[in-house]
Amino acid sequence: NYKKLFAETISKSRNEWINQFRNEIITFLSLNDMFRTKGKIIDDEKEKEWHSRRNMLLMRLNQSEELHQKLYCQIQEISFPNELNDQEYLKLKNELMITAKSILKEEWERVKAEAKGVENQNKNSNKDHKQSIQ
C-alpha cells in the first residue's frame, strides 16, 4: 500500500531528524561549554566543529514555528558565552534545553500521530475489505 509506505518513510525520516537534532544540540552545548571554560584557547578543529554544529542547528529550524523561532534566538544569544556571567549562561543554557526538548516532544508526537494514522488506515481498509466480502 503506497500510503502506508509513504507514512512509514515520513515517520522514519522524522525519527532520524529527532536523533540528529538531539545529537547536534548536545554537541553544540558541549563545545560551547568548552569554549566558555577555556575562553579563546580552543583549537581550530573544535572551533570549526562548533561553527558547523551551530549552523546545522540553525538550518534545521523552521522559522514559521514559534518554538523554533525561540530556539533560534537562544542559540544566537548563547553563541557568545564569554559575554555572559555564570548565572546568565546557565539560565540561558537551561532555557535552551527546555525549548529543544519541547521541539523534540512535538516531533515525537507527530511521529506517533502518523503511525496511528497508518494503523487506523489499515484497520479501516480491513473493515472495508470485510464489508465488501459480506
Q: What is the pTM of this model?
A: 0.77
Provide DSSP, 34-78. Answer: HHHHHTT---HHHHHHHHHHHHHHHHH--TTSHHHHHHHHHHHHH
Residue 125 has pLDDT above 60, yes or no: no
What confidence score (pLDDT) does residue 132 get? 45
Phi, psi of 10 (to 5 degrees): -65, -45
What pLDDT band is residue 60 in, cutting at 50, 70 and 90? very high
Is residue 90 scored above 90 in pLDDT? yes
Residues 122-133: what's their mean pLDDT? 48
What does the pLDDT look like over 20-55, one tens digit per residue? Answer: 999 999 999 999 998 887 666 567 888 889 899 999
Which whole-number Å values give the CA distances from 101 to 13, 60, 68, 98, in the listed order? Answer: 18, 15, 11, 5
In three-state secondary structure terms, 119 is: helix
